[in-house]
Chain A
Amino acid sequence: MKHSKQEALMLSSIKTNEFAGSKSKELAMMYFRVAIILFGAQLLMGLIAAIQFLVPGFLFELFDFSVARMVHINALVVWMLYAMIGSVYFMLPDETGVETVGVGLGKLAFWVLTAAVTVVVLVYIFIQVGAGTEASIWFINEGREYIEAPRWADIGIVVVVLIFYWNVFASYMKGRQTGIMTVMVADLLALAGLYLTGMFFTDNISMDQFWWWWVIHLWVEATWEVFVGTLAAYALIKIIGAKREIVEMWLWIEVLMLFGSGILGLGHHYFWIGTPEYWWEIGALFSALEPVPLVAMFVHVLYDWGKEQGIAKAEGKQGAVMNNGPAMAWIVTNAFGNFLGAGIWGFFHTLPQVNIYTHGTQFTAAHGHLAFFGAYATILIGMMYMGIQGAYGVERLKATFKSKMGIFLITFGVVGMTVALTIAGYEQVLVERAELGGGWNAFFTAQELPWYVQAQTWRAIMGVTTFVGFVYLVLDLLTIGKTAKAAQAA
C-alpha cells in the first residue's frame, strides 16, 4: 500500500500551484512539466543511439540510428525552448512587477505548441522518411540537423514564439524595466528573428549550411548564452539575495563579451563548407575569445555567492545564505559546466589548424554533450527547482538525498560520456583523419579499433548512469515541494 501512497503523493504534487495567484508562474510550471518529459525522451533516444554504435543490428530498419538521433537532438532543443519560455514567464512578475499581460493567450500558445510537438514526434517515429519531394519537407521532416521540423511546424513555431514575445514585451513595457529584463527582451527578439534564416530550401548545400549556422550558432553560442546570463542574474538575486547593481553590471559585461565574441565566432563554422578562407582568421580569433565571457559568468556566480556569504558571516549568521539549495547547486554546476563544456572543450578544436582534422568527429560530440549540459541543462533544471519552491510557497528549499543523487549522477554521467567521446574522437582523428584521410575505408578502420569501441562502451555505461540520475531528479521534483512544505508547517 506504501507504493500507491507514493503515487498519490506524486500526482497531487504535479497539480499543486500555490503562487498566491500569479498566473504567470502557473503558466511557467506548465512549460516546465513538458520540458522534463521531453528531457526524458531525449535521454532514452540517446541510449538507443549509443547502443546502436555497439550493436549495429539493434532495431535495424525498424528504428534506425538516424531516427533515434534526430529525436534525441530535437527533444533536446525543444525541451530547452520549453524550459526557457517557462523560466521567462516565471521571472516576469518578479522583475517587471506586473503579471504577464496575456496569460490566456500564453496558455493557448502552450497547447498549440504541445499539440504540434506531439504530432511532429509521432511523424518522426512512425513515418520517418518521405519521397524526394517538397511535400516531405512540408509534412515529414526537413532533414537539416537540429531544425528537422517540417515546414508547417516551422510556421507554427514562429506564431507561438511571436505570441510569447508579445507577452514578454508588453509586460516589460507595462511594468518596471530592469536591466535584466532589458537584456532579456533584446535577446529574445534576436532569438526569434534568427529562426527565420533557417526556413527555406536551396539546392546549393554551401548556401544551405551558411544560413543553417545563423540559426544554430547564433542561437547556441550567442543568444542562448546571453539568455543564460540573464537567468543566472535573476536567480542569484532570488536565491542568495545578491545586490542588483553588482549583478546587472556583470550582466552587461557578459553581454558585451558574449556578443562581441559569439557573433563573429560564427566564422569557426565557415572553415570547410565552401566559404572563403578569410573565415579562418576571423573564426579562429573570435571563437578563441568565446571562452572569455564564460570565465566572466563563472566568476560572476562564484563572486556573488562568496560576497553575500561573506556579508552574512560578518553579520554573525550561520550556514549558507541561499534559500534554495538544489537550485543553487545546479547554478554553480552551470558556472563550471559552461566554462568547461562550452569554453574549454570548444576551444580544444576551434582553431582551423586543428579543426581540419577534428571537424565532424566524436570530438564534436564530446564538446556538444558537455556544452549543452553544462551551459543550458543545468541552469534550466535550477529554474525548475525555483518553480517548485514557488509553487509550494516554501521559504527555504533544502536538498534531499534524491536531489543530491540526481545532480551527482547526471553530472558524473555527462562528464563520463564527454571523457569517453573525447578518447573516441582522439583515436578517430589520429587514425581516420591524420593517417588515412577520411574516406570510407578510413572511417570504418577507425570505428573498429579497440580504443574506439571501448570508449563507445564507456559512453553507453555513462549514458545509463545519466538516466538513473534523471530518474532521481524526476522523483525529487515530484516530491521535494510537498515534503518541504510539510516540514515547514510542522
Chain B
Amino acid sequence: MANENVSVWTSIPFWRRSAAWVTGFATMLLIWLSFDTLGQITMGTDADLKNNVTKRVPAPTVINYHIDYKMDAKRGHEIPVIGEKQPFFGKEWSEEEAAQLLHLGKLTSQAKNCMNCHTLLGNGAYFAPDLTKAWLDPAWQAGGPLQGMTGKNTVEEAMAEFLQHPSQYPTHARMMPNLGITAEEAKGLVAFLKHMSSIDTNGFPRNFSKSVETFKAGGTHAQ
C-alpha cells in the first residue's frame, strides 16, 4: 500500500468524499430555493386582488376580473395585467364559489386527461394547442373565429359550448374528441383556463398570438 495514491486524482476515497459533499450541497441549495419559490407561487388572496397586490399565482376570484397580457418595458416581456371587474358567466363569484369552481376545473382537466394532447404551461403533449394563455387567444374574443362558430357572445360561454360539443365545432382536421364534459365541468374548465392565463409565466409564450395579418403588416413589434 506504500506506493499507492501517488496522485489525489486517482484516489477513490477522494472522489467518494467529493461526490458526497457536492450532492449534499446541491440538495441543500435546492431545498432552500424551493422554500423561497413555494412562498412565491402560493395562490394569492381575494384581498390581494382588491388591493392591487400582484401575485405570481392570483386567487381563484381572479375570474371576476378582466385579464390582459401586456408587454412590460421594465421586465422586457409580456406579463398578465389584471384590470377592471368583469362578470364571469354573467355574475360575480364569491371567494368560496370561485375556489369551488377552480377546484372542479382542475380536477376535470386531470380526469379528462387534457395534458396528453394539449400543453399546460408548456408541459404535456404537442398534438393540440398550448392552453397556457388560451383564455386570451384572439380566436376566442369577439369577432374571433372560435367565438363566432359557437354563436355565443362571451369568451366563457363560447369556450364552455365548445368543450361540451367539441366534435360539432371542428376547427381543424385534427379535432378534439367528445369527452363527455358536462355543463358544470365546462364552466369549471373555463375558470381553470382563465385562472391559468393570469399566472405570471415570465413572458411565456413570447409575443403571444400575433395573427398572420399582424405578421404581414410588419412583424411582431409593428406599431
- The segment from A154-162, A251-259, A374-382, A388-396 found at the interface with B is A251-259
- Which residues on A sit within 8 Å (CB–CB) of B199? 205-206, 274
Is B126's CB under 8 angstroms from A259's CB? Answer: no
Q: A56-B174, A69-B125, A253-B19 are in contact. List 14 more A-B contacts (CB 8 A).
A: A57-B173, A131-B185, A132-B111, A206-B41, A212-B123, A259-B22, A274-B56, A276-B36, A282-B33, A356-B205, A437-B209, A439-B129, A439-B138, A444-B174
A-B contact count (CB 8 A): 278
**Chain B residues positioned under 8 Å from A433 (CB to CB):** 205-206
Interfacial chain A residues near B122, Cβ < 8 Å: 272-273, 359-360
Choose one: B16, B108, B127, B201; the contact of A179 (CB below 8 Å): B16
Number of interface residues of A (CB under 8 A): 87
Can you list, as one digit per residue, whether each of B150-183 has a CB less than 8 Å from chain A (1) or not (0)?
Answer: 0000000000000000010001111101111010
Q: List 7 A-B contacts (CB under 8 A).
A: A65-B116, A252-B19, A260-B23, A271-B202, A360-B126, A440-B140, A443-B129
CB nearest to A267 among chain B residues? B33
Out of B10, B107, B172, B207, which one reaches A444, CB within 8 Å? B172
Check if A488 is an interface residue, CB within 8 A of chain B. no
Q: Which of B16, B123, B212, B220 contacts A209 (CB 8 A)?
A: B123
Residue of A nearest to B200 (CB): A274
Bound complex: CA A435 to CA B115 (Å): 25
Query: For chain A residues 222-266, which have a beta carbon within 8 Å of chain B?
Result: 245, 248-249, 252-253, 255-256, 259-260, 263-264, 266
Taking CB atoms and an 8 Å cut-off, the chain B residues in 99-113 that contact chain A are 99, 102-113
The verdict on B82 contacting chain A, using a C-beta distance below 8 Å, is: no
**A441 is an interface residue with CB less than 8 A from chain B:** yes
CB closest residue in chain A, given B213: A441
Chain A hits for B102, CB < 8 A: 203
CB of A37, distance to nearest CB on chain B (Å): 22
A66–chain B nearest beta-carbon distance, Å:
4
Contact between chains at A69 and B117 (CB < 8 Å): yes
- Interface flag for B27 (CB, 8 Å): yes
In the complex, are the beta carbons of B40 and A276 less than 8 A apart?
A: yes
In contact, A133 and B107 (Cβ under 8 angstroms): yes
Please report the C-alpha to C-alpha distance between residue A277 and residue B40 in the assembled complex, in whole angstroms.
11
Q: Which of B99, B120, B179 contacts A203 (CB 8 A)?
A: B99
The residues of A that contact B107 with a CB separation of less than 8 Å are 132-134, 136-137, 201
Binding site for B on A (CB under 8 A): 49, 52-53, 56-57, 60-61, 64-67, 69-70, 128-134, 136-137, 140-145, 148, 179, 201-210, 212, 245, 248-249, 252-253, 255-256, 259-260, 263-264, 266, 270-280, 282, 356-357, 359-362, 364-365, 433-445, 447
Please, which residues of chain A bring their CB within 8 A of the CB of B108?
131-132
Interface code B34-74, partner A: CB below 8 Å = 1, 0 otherwise?
10111011110000000000001100100000000000000
Closest Cβ neighbor of B121 among chain A residues:
A273
Distance of A212 from chain B, by nearest CB (Å): 8
Kindly provide the distance from the CB of A457 to the nearest chain B CB, expressed in whole angstroms: 15
Determine whether the beta carbon of A70 is less than 8 Å from that of B113.
yes
**B residues 129-160 with Cβ under 8 Å of A?**
129-130, 132-134, 137-140, 146
- A18 CA to B140 CA, complexed, in Å: 65
Interface pair B205/A179, CB less than 8 Å apart: no
* Pairwise interchain contact A61-B110, C-beta atoms closer than 8 A: no
Judge whether B114 is part of the interface by a CB distance below 8 angstroms: yes
Name the residue on B nearest A352 (C-beta).
Answer: B202
- Compute how far the CA of A440 lies from the CA of B146 in the bound complex, rounded to whole angstroms: 10
Q: How far is the CB of A478 from chain B (nearest CB, A)?
A: 33
Q: Quick check: A438 and B209 within 8 Å, CB to CB?
A: yes
Question: What string of 1s and 0s marks CB contacts (under 8 Å) between B3-37 and chain A?
Answer: 00000001110011011001100110110011011
A61 / chain B contacts, CB cutoff of 8 Å: 167, 177-178
Interface residues, chain B, with chain A CB atoms under 8 Å away? 10-12, 15-16, 18-19, 22-23, 26-27, 29-30, 33-34, 36-38, 40-43, 56-57, 60, 99, 102-117, 119-130, 132-134, 137-140, 146, 167, 171-175, 177-180, 182, 185, 188, 192, 195-196, 199-212, 215, 220
Residues of A within 8 A of B201 (CB): 272-274
Report yes or no: A145 in contact with B124, Cβ–Cβ below 8 A. Answer: yes
Which residue of chain B is the closest to A218 with respect to CB atoms? B30
- B206→A204 contact, CB < 8 A: no
* Those 9 A-B pairs whose CB atoms lie nearest each other, nearest first: A439-B209, A132-B108, A143-B110, A438-B205, A272-B204, A360-B122, A252-B15, A136-B111, A66-B116
Which residues on A sit within 8 Å (CB–CB) of B200? Answer: 274
Q: Given that A129-B180, A263-B23, A274-B56 are contacting pairs, would A70 and B126 also be in contact in the complex, using a CB cutoff of 8 Å? A: no
Please name the residue on chain A nearest to B13 by beta carbon.
A252
Most buried by A among B34, B40, B42, B127: B127
Chain B's closest residue to A141 (CB) is: B113
Rounded to whole Å, the gap between the CB of A271 and the closest CB of chain B is 6
Docked complex Cα distance between A209 and B56 (Å): 14
Contact A70 B146 (CB under 8 A): no
Closest residue of B by beta carbon distance from A135: B111
Chain B residues, Cβ within 8 Å of A360: 119, 122-124, 126, 130
A272 and B126: CB pair below 8 A?
no
A248-B209 Cα distance, complex, nearest whole Å:
53
Q: Say how far B23's CB is from chain A's closest CB, in angstroms.
A: 4
Of B103, B117, B130, B202, the contact of A66 (CB 8 Å cutoff): B117
Whether the pair B211, A441 counts as a contact (CB closer than 8 A) is yes
Q: A83 CA to B104 CA in the complex, in Å?
A: 38
Give chain B nearest CB distance to A410 CB in angstroms: 23
* Closest Cβ–Cβ distance, residue A463 to chain B (whole Å): 15
CB distance from A244 to the nearest CB of B (A): 10
